Amino acid sequence: MISDSKLVDHGTGTPVVATMETEAVATKALDSADDPEIWVDAKDSHRALIYATDKKAGLYVYDLKGKQVQFLAVGPMNNVDLRSGLNIAGLPETIVAASDRVKGGAALFKLDPATLQTTPWGFVAMPTSEAYGFCVGVTKANQLTFIMVGKTGDVTQSLITTENGQPKATVMRQFATGSQSEGCVVDDVSGRLYIAEENTALWQYGLDPASGTARTAVESLPSQKLVADIEGLTLLRDDGKTYLIASSQGDSAFAVWRVEGEAPVYQGRFSVYAGKGIDAVTGTDGVAALGGQVGPYGKGVVVMQDDSDTDGEAPATARVRQNFKLVDWNEIVKALKIK
């Protein structure tokens, strides 16, 4: 449960600065913060939440100002993902789920849109090595699917339904990436699944289990775009375009591709530098993004883990506090000159 990242002064990508940061997770000196996800009310973009895991303690919920609004002490959660606006028989409209490193599967939660309170809903076992990476998708047949990435690179994909009011997982596919892997994200529109094999490559698979183990590399290591370890992955939609963002932990940067077409198109890389009273993002792990209006963010927001929430940090700085930074997507667009 300890990160293998090496702290650096700052990243090597094009500089941007964060607009906000969350309160630090309460677990200290244990490399505890890991992975975020973003929810926004489709009817009111100012009603938004950031979910974030503490891989030693549970699941945090923050508002867009970074204030903690809820904490669920459910034990070691590693990666978190969600889907909202679901219209699937037996399932809640919004499902939040996270990889449970102790029980070996996914913990599920329900969000009450009226109160914005999140409550545990259940658990589904997903057979892998240590439950590590995790992502959620909706298939073209309007079925909810979970992908669990075991620490050794073994992957299980399950169909999620209900039985007697509780979630049920049915294994649909199992395969192996080849070595330690974690970050994953599903593109519901294109039917693609992206997985980060940490020291080898960022892979694109098909979401359909019938696609088997076929894959293509978005980027292979060693690379000028990604420096091992490759960590969190996320997608952002902006005016009909889809962007894949990958966390380059080895040099505290984030690489960006356009991926709605047949082949990925590289857009550049950015790093979050110190500014506006907020420290830089270093040793970054999980990352999440959401396009469109998200509260004050007109084109979207990107949220990433900061492995050392410390002013004036240097390679010798101890990781005592970890938190999550918020970056305006529009600032990234301008910095990278994305058109």
Tell me: the pLDDT tens digits for 123-175?
A: 999 999 999 999 999 999 999 999 999 999 999 999 999 999 999 999 999 99
Is-contact 130 1, C-beta < 8 A? no
Query: What dihedral angle (degrees, nearest 10) is formed by the CA atoms of 236, 239, 241, 243?
Result: -20
Helix residue ranges per DSSP H, the chain: 329-336
pTM above 0.75, yes or no: yes
The per-residue pLDDT for 195 is 98
The per-residue pLDDT for 3 is 63
Q: Pairing relation of β-strands 144-150 and 131-138?
A: antiparallel
- CATH class (in words) of the domain with range 14-336: mainly beta
| Beta-ladder partners of 220 | 201
* Confidence band of 4 (pLDDT split at 50, 70, 90): low
The SS3 call for residue 265 is: strand
Q: What's the mean pLDDT in 235-251?
A: 96
Report the distance separating Cα 56 and Cα 34, nearest Å: 10
Report the distance separating Cα 103 and Cα 126, nearest Å: 9
The per-residue pLDDT for 313 is 82
Residue 13: left (phi > 0), alpha (psi -120 to 50), or beta? beta
Q: What's the mean pLDDT in 93-98?
A: 98
Compute the residue count for the chain. 339
The per-residue pLDDT for 317 is 82
